[in-house]
Chains A and B, each alone.
Chain A
């Protein structure tokens, strides 16, 4: 069974640009979660999508947005990039039902120059 896949593995942008990160969940999973992990910091919750709808978002500005497609894959968009957006962005998916564990991909390393 394929795990959560994220692309690209690495992404280099400059300040003010826009970045798009992609995530394919485990087959059969309907929920997708996005986290930011800045260097030396813990995982910070960004967004939760389930059945195509945004269910919850963390304490991040509106320039962080995303969507979930009918096939349950997801995109994270970051507009007007700032230097402090440099981080590892992790995607996780979970199956239907209560208390299904989240399974993570290996992330996209976003570097802002």
Chain B
């Protein structure tokens, strides 16, 4: 079973910030939070990941709560091309161990 829970769907107005929540209450100390998105008929696209500090890149920002039990992916100015399924996963990746479990994700619809 996935170690994360996300709302099944969300809407966001074009040009507004999209805030996608994720709960990972059983996260372990060495597990990172990763976000991917999948646009129909394409492979998942890596967005961002973090351990405990907030992270930002050219695509999005990741806010992780201090207790690490939840996080929020922020798309600052959503466009129609951001319509996709967004997956939040927790993962520990070492040279000898790597396990990834994808849940059903959040289907984000950006509305004109």
Q: Which residues of A contact B (CB under 8 A)?
A: 4, 31, 33, 35, 42-45, 48, 50, 55-56, 90, 92, 94, 97-107
Contacts and interface: CB of A to CB of B under 8 A. Distances in A.
A55 B94 CA distance: 11
Contacts of B104: 42
Contact of B43 (A50, A101, A106): A106
Given A42-B105, A43-B102, A101-B34, A106 B42 contact: yes
Report the contact-size class of chain B (Cβ under 8 Å from the partner). Answer: 20 to 34
Interface of B: 2, 32, 34, 36, 41-46, 49, 87, 91-105
Contacts of A48: 98
A98 B95 contact: yes
A103 B47 CA distance: 10
Q: Which 5 A-B pairs have the closest CB atoms?
A: A104-B43, A43-B102, A101-B46, A106-B43, A104-B44
Given A55-B98, A104-B45, 4 more contacts: A44-B102, A56-B98, A101-B46, A102-B46
Contact of B46 (A55, A56, A99, A103): A103
Nearest to B85: A42
Nearest to B2: A42
Contact of A99 (B42, B93, B101, B102): B93
Contact of B100 (A98, A100, A102, A106): A102
Contacts of A35: 102
B46 A90 contact: no
A94 B93 contact: yes
